Chains A and B, each alone.
Chain A
């Protein structure tokens, strides 16, 4: 895996007068697993969006350094994957079409075998030709994992990793988290104590302390 470094410095986000969080700083490097926790409304999902470059912070900076070269946030897409409740699939396309579309818009080439392999792993291969609007919330969550892992990202971001999943789905996700931590790097936001055991370090946004 290519050496990389995620650097978050003094990130601040406010909505109107309400300051959600301030002075958030941390680093994530290859082989590390970093968790963000905190009570509801503390800004876990917002922080994940900021780090992924889809939301602009009110202050501070987020930098991605790959091979000692800084990558602008607008070009970070091929290096990251995100699974989030706020991320929706195109419901008019089938599961497989969604994955192909994601790869094409990311500007990466993928083989059919890779797509089918992922769909099989997450147990939705039989539903690959069904439009995503007919998927249950659990199946949609599984499809989001397929989309996030399709390009084998250097950094995988998981917001509420086990939300909407049954026991089998949760087992697959924990296996993915374990693999990602060994192969590249993992950043996730959760309040599940079992998920938190995958983290090397935990940032509690409610207290803003890294433990």
Chain B
């Protein structure tokens, strides 16, 4: 049975990641380090839930920055980007890599969210539906922006620093919305109260994905 090519690119990414652990190791180390630092820096102090919500998304943002750029950077470093360009169209590559980043970031965000709630006593989520919807929509938005930015920076000499520098202004509206929705989840708001924030998150992802599909062909082929 012939399966869609983007799915084959996605399967290649997953299989490659499990063999090399380029992104997984970087992500895991970053998550563990930052969470440990947060716990030690808080100590016994009581921190307002607004700050704790912001810190959760800081951990998610920087963890994503440490791992998501790998998807294109490794192709350039290993010289396989030409191979991939020869095998299939830019759109198939983009969709496959985007799906992989979505799965990676959702797994990472869920792990961070569970660990964060477990180790920080003051962070009590009263509306799980708002919290998990924010995690999922925020993760998709992060993956959408990160995928195209990773493709852009993959050919630069200063990949490591360029990625968070470019990503921060692009992702700022997404992060602010995610923080606001997370605050609502801690306050125990009704799901409908966070609806406006979800609309922003969905719109961000749709705009980012649509723009990426158009731009990616030029980024990928030059």
Contacts and interface: CB of A to CB of B under 8 A. Distances in A.
Interface stretch (B77-85, B98-106, B173-181): B77-85
A171 interface: no
Contacts of A93: 15-16, 19
Given A88-B82, A89-B83, A105-B88, A56 B20 contact: no
30 contacts: A49-B82, A53-B86, A54-B86, A55-B221, A74-B89, A74-B91, A74-B217, A77-B87, A77-B88, A82-B86, A84-B82, A86-B82, A88-B78, A88-B79, A88-B80, A89-B83, A90-B78, A90-B83, A91-B78, A92-B20, A101-B12, A102-B87, A104-B5, A105-B5, A105-B92, A107-B2, A107-B8, A107-B88, A108-B2, A109-B2
Nearest to A108: B2
Interface string A55-66: 110000000000
A92 B85 CA distance: 19
Which secondary structure dominates where chain B touches chain A?
helix
Interface of A: 49, 52-56, 74-75, 77, 80, 82, 84, 86-93, 101-102, 104-109
A92 B82 contact: no
B222 interface: yes
| Top-5 shortest CB links A-B | A92-B19, A88-B79, A54-B85, A74-B89, A104-B8
B151 interface: no
Contacts of B91: 74
A102 B5 CA distance: 11
Contacts of A75: 89
B9 A105 contact: yes
Contacts of A52: 86
Contacts of B11: 104
Contacts of B89: 74-75, 77
Interface of B: 2-3, 5, 8-9, 11-12, 15-16, 19-20, 78-80, 82-92, 217, 221-222
A56 B5 contact: no
B16 A92 contact: yes
Contacts of B9: 105
Contacts of A54: 82, 85-86, 221
A49 B91 CA distance: 19
Nearest to B20: A92
Given A102-B87, A105-B84, A56 B19 contact: no
A82 B86 CA distance: 8
Residue among A90, A106, A108 having the largest count of chain B Cβ atoms under 10 Å: A90
Given A88-B79, A104-B8, 5 more contacts: A87-B82, A90-B83, A102-B87, A105-B8, A109-B2
Given A74-B217, A93-B15, A105 B78 contact: no
A99 to B, nearest CB: 12
A49 B12 CA distance: 24
Contacts of B86: 52-54, 77, 80, 82, 87
Nearest to A98: B83
Contacts of A74: 89-91, 217
A106 B84 CA distance: 9
A49 B88 CA distance: 14
A92 B89 CA distance: 23
Nearest to A84: B82
